[in-house]
Structure formats: structure tokens, C-alpha cells
Amino acid sequence: MNIRISWRSAHVTAVIKDTPTTSKLTAALPFESRAQRWGKEVYFEVPFEAKLEPDAKQVVEPGTVCFWVEGRSVAIPFGPTPISKGDECHLVARVNILGRVEGNPGALDSIKEGDRIRVEAA
């Protein structure tokens, strides 16, 4: 399945895997939230909860669509965060892997703190 993540100036499309968390994500579509930033990571709260999955990771590739269990948020890093070593995408905690942004994840850098985010099926 593909989802579209939109904000005032642009959007990205992401390919979503089939996992217990993505089932909850797709059931909640469409929804809106407010963007938050942490270095080169955008994250936003979602209207569902999920448990940590066995393949959860803390260091991921740029553009990986993640679910931060403790923050009840989708997190999408596109570069280093404040705890990264070098250019790695190091998240604050282990996260469930939901999928990947298609194309250049650097487009997410245009999202500003507080921007309205809309997530819907693509």
C-alpha cells in the first residue's frame, strides 16, 4: 500500500509494508496531525497505539517511515538527529519499521515545526 504525507508546501509518497502496526495506520486513514522536528527528523502523533515489533531498530536509512511506540508518533528521519554519529539516522528509541519514502526524503526538510500534516491513502 502507498500513503501520501502532505504539508502546506509539498508531499511525499511512502510504500508501506504489511505489519501489525501498518494495519493500525491504514485503519486510521485519513488523519491530520502537527509536525515536530528533531534534527533531520520529522515526527507527528497518530490516532492509534502499537507495541514494539521484533524487528524494531534505532538506526535506520534516510526516508524510513517508522513508528515511535513511546511517542505514539510516526517518525521519518532524512538525515542526522542530535544523537547521530556522523550521517546516520539515529532515533531516540527503537522503532517499528513501517516502510520507505519514495524518491528524495530530503523534501521533508521543508516541513516546519507546527505545520499541519495530512496522511491518507495514495
Question: What is the spatial distance between Cα 117 and Cα 40, in angstroms, rounded to a whole number?
Answer: 17
Phi first, then psi: what are they for 75, rounded to 5°?
Answer: -125, 135
| Cell triple for 94 | 527503537
Summary mean pLDDT of the chain: 97
- What are the tens digits of pLDDT across the range 66-101? 999 999 999 999 999 999 999 999 999 999 999 999
- Are residues 7 and 76 in contact, defined by beta-carbon separation less than 8 angstroms? no
Question: What is the spatial distance between Cα 86 and Cα 77, in angstroms, rounded to a whole number?
Answer: 14
Mean pLDDT value across residues 18-26: 97
Place 112 in a pLDDT band, splitting at 50, 70 and 90.
Answer: very high
Q: Looking at residue 2, what is its pLDDT?
A: 97
CATH code linked to domain 2-121: 2.40.100.20
- Annotate 42-79 with DSSP letters as a single string: EEEE-S---PPPTT-EEEE-TTEEEEETTTTEEEEE-S
Spatial CB neighbours of 54, under 8 Å, sequence gap ≥ 6: none
Q: State the pTM of this model.
A: 0.97
Question: What is the spatial distance between Cα 37 and Cα 3, in angstroms, rounded to a whole number?
Answer: 20
Domain boundaries, the chain: 2-121
Mean pLDDT value across residues 5-14: 97
